[in-house]
Amino acid sequence: MVLGNENGIVPTNEERNATDIENGVFEGEKFDDWNEELDSDRELVLTQRAAEIEHRKGAVESQQKQADKMLEKSKNRFGPVEVGMTVRLPIDVVNRPKIGHASLFGLVLSSEEGLYQIGTKNEVLQQKLTQNQFEPANNNFLSADDVPSQNTTFRSAIGTESLSGTQGHKHCNCPNGCTNGR
């Protein structure tokens, strides 16, 4: 492949510009048409971009409106819960001990931004719960004086409330038979 002109010499920028002008590449009309085409393309892109931004603003507003509507439905679906109220926490089958209740009663200790701190008669649950994870009890079984200030997990709170202890079974790990009667 030969670079440059027919003699194999690479022209300088000035020579290329002069050749382009001779051939009419940069005539005023063609250049003006090219600028007008660029300006119209730029205006089209800016118009489309503005329309996209408006569409996205509308989508964000609609999404926020839908979120507010869902929160309102959730508040109406689940009864009002106030601090000091006794609630029933359902226990799923995985966490339930062999012989145990299907629910755990607790007391709402605090509430902030839709998250509730629940305490049982033995400990306070570490995690905060949302309103769809429990339901208000018909009677107030617990008072704030009945709840100690120790923290625990949900599973260990279930174990301390149960008659048979936690889920699973206990066995001895002694290598030569049981020496301590576990």
Task: Characterize the bridge pairing of strands 135-136 and 124-125.
Answer: unpaired
* Euclidean distance between the first and the last CA atom of the chain, given in angstroms as a whole number: 90
Q: What local confidence, expressed as pLDDT, does residue 164 receive?
A: 65
Token match 């109406």: residue? 76
Tell me how far apart the alpha carbons of residues 30 and 37 are, in angstroms, rounded to a whole number.
10
More confident residue, 151 or 162: 151
Q: Would you say residue 113 has pLDDT above 90? A: no
- Beta-carbon contacts of residue 6 (< 8 Å; ≥ 6 apart): none
Q: What local confidence, expressed as pLDDT, does residue 60 receive?
A: 93
Q: What local confidence, expressed as pLDDT, does residue 24 receive?
A: 57
Q: Which of 74, 100, 83, 80 is nearest to 157 (CA)?
A: 100
Q: Would you say residue 91 has pLDDT above 80? A: yes
pLDDT tens per residue across span 39-79: 778 888 888 988 999 999 999 999 999 999 988 887 778 76
Read off the pLDDT band of 147 (50, 70, 90): confident
Tokens of 86: 């006794």
Q: What local confidence, expressed as pLDDT, does residue 29 receive?
A: 47
